Structure 1
Amino acid sequence: MSDLITAAVAALNERLDGSGIDGIAKFVIEDEGSIIVDGDGARAGDDEADVTLTATRETFEAIIGGEMNPTTAFMTGKLSVDGDMGKAMALGSALA
């Protein structure tokens, strides 16, 4: 597992404040790996998910760091979403 994935899991769990989300979301970070977010919080993994969000390392770091709104990233084509848009919106709200 890459250092980015390890740091991202910790950052996501901090941002989610232990609440997790309803359903399963997967962040795919190009050339790095993937992270699962569910009711238990965030963890490294590549499980099946209700929604998959894909971004470059730079975009993902900006979202996690609070420098880029997930909705803005999606609207500008920097974040792609495949699957349940409602779950993506819920995760985006939790991270904003």
Structure 2
Amino acid sequence: MKAKFNPAAAAGLDLVFGFRIDDTQNFSLVVKDGACELQEGENPDAQVTLVMDGETLQGIVDGSTDGMQAFMGGKLRAEGDMMLAMKLSELFPS
């Protein structure tokens, strides 16, 4: 994930994205001042949490699945600030 990170798009940002995978795993992605850190576990400060299964996550990460198509197809759900979820495509361009 860090290999695809665009630090220029994260300049001046202070965001927390949550990820819930298969309702059993939680991760958070902290983006702050041009850097990102992936942490295991749920973060109560997450402004948006993306809920999906492991297969969908793998497809999004490896580029074989488009996040917006996964959302429109019901394979990805966003809880919280939907506009922030869309920011991920700028932070992690394909």
Q: Is the TM-score greater than 0.5?
A: yes
Partner of 1:14: 3
Q: Unaligned stretches of 5+ in structure 2?
A: none
In the alignment, residue 40 of structure 2 is paired with which amino acid? A
Q: How many positions carry a matched residue from both structures? A: 85
Q: Any runs of at least 4 consecutive aligned residues in structure 1 with deviations exceeding 2 A, and if so which?
A: 17-22, 92-96
Aligned to 2:87: 90
Higher Rg of the two aligned structures = 2
Q: Which has a greater percent of helix? A: 1
**RMSD across aligned C-alpha pairs, in angstroms?**
2.0
TM-score (normalizing by structure 1): 0.75
Contact 1:29 1:54 in 2 (8 A): yes
CA distance, structure 1, for counterparts of residue 85 and residue 3 of structure 2: 18
User: Which whole-Å deviations, capped at 9, do the CAs of 1:33-65 have from their partners, x for residues lacking one?
Assistant: 122112241222211210000100111110011
Q: CA deviation at 1:28?
A: 0.9
User: 2:72 aligns to what?
Assistant: 75
Q: Name which of structure 1's ranges 72-81 and 14-23 shifts more when overlaid on structure 2.
A: 14-23
